[in-house]
């Protein structure tokens, strides 16, 4: 478990506790909620919502605020359900540690889901995309010879060389060939716009080097 982030998480909850002087602690509320106290469950949700949301906002980034709120609600729902059905064992861990574990798992699953989504996008350099890249080059270079188009295809799909494009770079090149806006490509990849600009420039530099190595 990431102790640094757990400490930040705990500190934010402790600050919330300090602001609620005289109120029952989070741990005591957890024990009461586990015993079926519905008022304690409602109070737990109220006291933990902001700290949990802050955790997700830090981990996901400011541009995904609404998703952070959704994950916060899911986290607290799972924690309260665990209290209700007895999955949370007070003798095994503090309730706050238990909530943090749920939050970390949700954040990790979110990262994996987004990574899988990017992989699907990255691998989507279809024949149609290649044809569009080729057509764009023909438009730019007027009567581009077929062998030069084939050389460009080889450069686009080359693997294991210094000038090989990453799947993400291929997706960017293909997207630009379709006249996709950089902002649209950035959204589809889940990347900042500045990162897409840099990857596009790097991809074009690789293609130029590859074509030069082939004598073009």
**Structural domain boundaries, residue 152:** 127-213
Q: What is the pTM of this model?
A: 0.52
What CATH number did the domain enclosing 199 receive?
A: 1.10.10
Q: Residue 142 and residue 148: Cα distance in Å, rounded?
A: 12
Asked whether residue 122 is assigned to any structural domain, the reply reads: no
Is residue 166, in this structure, part of any structural domain at all?
A: yes
pLDDT, greater one: 102 or 24:
102
Distances, alpha carbon 156 to alpha carbons 144, 169, 202, in Å: 16, 9, 13
Instruction: Determine the pLDDT at residue 18.
Output: 45
Last residue of one domain, picked from the residues 91, 117, 143:
117
Query: 86 lies in a domain?
Result: yes
Please calculate the CA angle 135-140-142 and round it to the nearest 5 degrees. Answer: 85
> Both 20 and 74 in a single domain?
yes
Question: With DSSP H G I counted as helix, E B as strand and the rest as coil, what are the percentages for the chain, rounded to 5?
Answer: 80, 0, 20
Q: Are both 195 and 165 inside the same structural domain?
A: yes
Query: 178-202 pLDDT, tens per residue?
Result: 778 888 888 888 888 898 999 989 9
> Is residue 53 a part of any domain in this protein?
yes
Q: Is the dihedral of CA 85, 88, 91, 95 positive or negative?
A: negative
Phi, psi (deg, nearest 5) at residue 9: -60, -50
For residue 54, tell me if it sits in a domain. yes
Claim to verify: residue 134 and residue 35 sit in the same structural domain: no
Q: Please answer whether residues 33 and 44 qualify as being in contact, where contact means their C-beta atoms are separated by less than 8 angstroms.
A: yes
- Is residue 33 within 8 Å of 90, Cβ to Cβ? no
pLDDT at residue number 6: 55
How many other C-beta atoms lie within 10 A of the C-beta of residue 53? 20
Residues 103, 131 within the same domain? no
- pLDDT category of residue 102 using cuts at 50, 70 and 90: very high
- Cβ–Cβ under 8 Å, residues 60 and 110: yes
Of 89, 117, 145, the position where a domain reaches its end is: 117
Q: How many domains, in total, are found in the chain?
A: 2
What integer pLDDT is reported at residue 182 of this predicted model? 87
Of the residues 117, 143, 164, the one at which a domain ends = 117
Q: Report how far residue 16's alpha carbon sits from residue 92's, in angstroms, rounded to the nearest whole number.
A: 24
pLDDT at position 48 over 50? yes
């Amino acid at each position: 478990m990431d102790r640094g982030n757990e400490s930040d998480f705990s500190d934010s909850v402790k600050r919330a506790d300090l602001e609620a002087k005289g109120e029952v602690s989070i741990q005591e509320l957890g024990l009461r909620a586990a015993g079926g106290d519905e008022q304690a469950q409602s109070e737990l949700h109220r006291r933990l919502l902001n700290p949990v949301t802050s955790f997700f906002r830090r981990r996901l980034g400011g541009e995904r605020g609404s998703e952070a709120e959704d994950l916060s609600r899911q986290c607290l729902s799972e924690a309260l359900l665990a209290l209700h059905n007895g999955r949370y064992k007070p003798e095994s861990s503090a309730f706050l540690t238990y909530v943090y574990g749920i939050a970390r798992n949700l954040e990790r699953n979110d990262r994996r889901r987004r990574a899988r989504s990017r992989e699907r996008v990255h691998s989507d350099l279809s024949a149609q995309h290649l044809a569009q890249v080729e057509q764009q080059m023909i438009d730019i270079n007027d009567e581009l010879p077929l062998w030069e188009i084939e050389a460009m295809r080889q450069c686009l799909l080359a693997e294991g060389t210094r000038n090989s494009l990453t799947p993400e770079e291929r997706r960017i090149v293909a997207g630009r060939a379709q006249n996709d806006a950089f902002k649209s490509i950035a959204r589809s990849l889940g990347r900042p716009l500045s990162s897409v600009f840099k990857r596009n420039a790097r991809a074009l530099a690789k293609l130029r080097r590859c074509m030069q190595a082939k004598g073009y």
